[in-house]
Amino acid sequence: MTKLFGTDGVRGVAGERLTAELAVALGRAAAAEARAERPQVLIVRDTRESGPMLEAALAAGVAQGGGDALIAGVLPTPAASILVRKLGLDLAAVVSASHNPWQDNGIKFFGADGRKLSDEAEERIEAAVAGGASADGGTQVGTVRDLHGALDDYLRALESAFPLKLDGLRVALDCAHGATYRAAPAIFRRLGAEVELLGADPDGRNINDGCGSTHPEALAEHVRFNGAAIGFAYDGDGDRVIAVDGEGRVRDGDELMALIATWARERGALRGGLVATVMSNFGLRTAMEEAGIELAITPVGDRHVAAELIERGWNFGGEQSGHLIWSDFSPTGDGIAASLLALQALDGRDLAAAIPMTRLPQSLVNVRVGDREALAGAEAVWAAVEAEEAKLDGRGRVLVRPSGTEPLVRVMVEAPTQDECDAVCRRLAAVVERELA
């Protein structure tokens, strides 16, 4: 059986790799993994066309496994982490493929502590699915029911953690036609902001389509020409955020981390240092050195960031892509919470002037390949990487890695000028394509 779990749950084209039958099996196995007499399992989803089908199948599997499935409907992924703890449930499941196109979908799980399940727990679920685990042996069948009030519970948690007064602030929000399309405008309006909405009319197929955190250009143009003070773009499931300053310039997760970390350090709210990943810009490292903030680097993936935060006892970290974890609120990335935290850090200042870092020019190319795992043994690729690093001679860096969720190899280059970045990236991408496509 092909390995099910990637770096962020089980993903694939809905109806092909990710079928209703697989969702039933995953629900049944997850109910067993919860290890409760009658596990209570929360299920949320994003706005994809395949979401209701997979939600229903997953709930059926939970019930067949003897658990009670509580269906909360469309909510951001981080709401699952908040609600599973607030309501004292045993497990939460999210039906979403995050920033992927609408044809894809996914299923990921959170434990009773609000954290994503460990690799070991996912391996046990995968083994149970592969072994054809069933409800035989006298297991009592559970129930499936709607959970009312889940959105309000999530909004109250945000309002309590971030008691901001945003009266009169014009905020533009791009919800990617995804899971934040109700929650994001609702919390900003509760806090007094004047909200201008983009990407808030989901039809099942327009999620992440030219909008949201992976395509912030529309938001940047809106802010630039309509005079909003700031903009925030979320991804399809709402665990990422990218900002746009009042001048219409896109500000990524690195820049938001630099802002928040230095603000929190000045106020004694930063425990330890900052956790970032290998994808973070060299400018973030420089800014943290200048601020006297220790920086820990992990592999790509918010799972690695979260694990490092736990190991060190720190409370803030994230990724350039906009996964930001403020563990005083939640142990997982939350795009809306990160937006509110950034506004706290700004304290009325303009984002363009407040960010305490200068980015080194960066280029990133995603090369579609036949087998992303083959990268490890691609000697010609690594020889080309070594040659390009030698040419840079400490003036920048090269990072080539496989995607954890898609058949892609990511080629990232940082150098003193954008032209040099682009040239190195093109040369390396050509080698990757020749060797692995």
Return the active site residues.
Answer: 98
Q: What are phi and psi of 37, to 5 degrees?
A: -60, -40
DSSP letters spanning 61-110: HHHHTT-EEEEEEE--HHHHHHHHHHTT-SEEEEE--TTS-TTEEEEEEE
Q: How many CB atoms lie within 10 A of CB 132?
A: 7
Closest CA to 412 of 350, 366, 358: 366
What is the distance, to the nearest Å, from the Cα of residue 92 to the centroid of all Cα atoms in its chain?
Answer: 16
**Amino acid present at 31:** A
Crossing angle of the two packed helices 77-86 and 150-161, in degrees rounded to 10: 90
Q: What are phi and psi of 73, to 5 degrees?
A: 80, -150
Contact 104, 15 (CB under 8 A): no
Q: How many CB atoms lie within 10 A of CB 330?
A: 22
Closest CA to 269 of 327, 309, 308: 327
C-alpha–C-alpha distance, residues 18 and 13, integer Å: 6
> 389-415 b/e with 16+ CB inside 10 Å = b?
eeebeeebbbbbbbbbbbbbbbbbbbb
C-alpha–C-alpha distance, residues 1 and 427, integer Å: 37
Q: At a CB cut-off of 8 Å and minimum separation 6, what does 380 contact?
A: 431, 434, 435
Q: Residue 69 to residues 30, 73, 272: CA-CA distances in angstroms?
A: 11, 12, 39
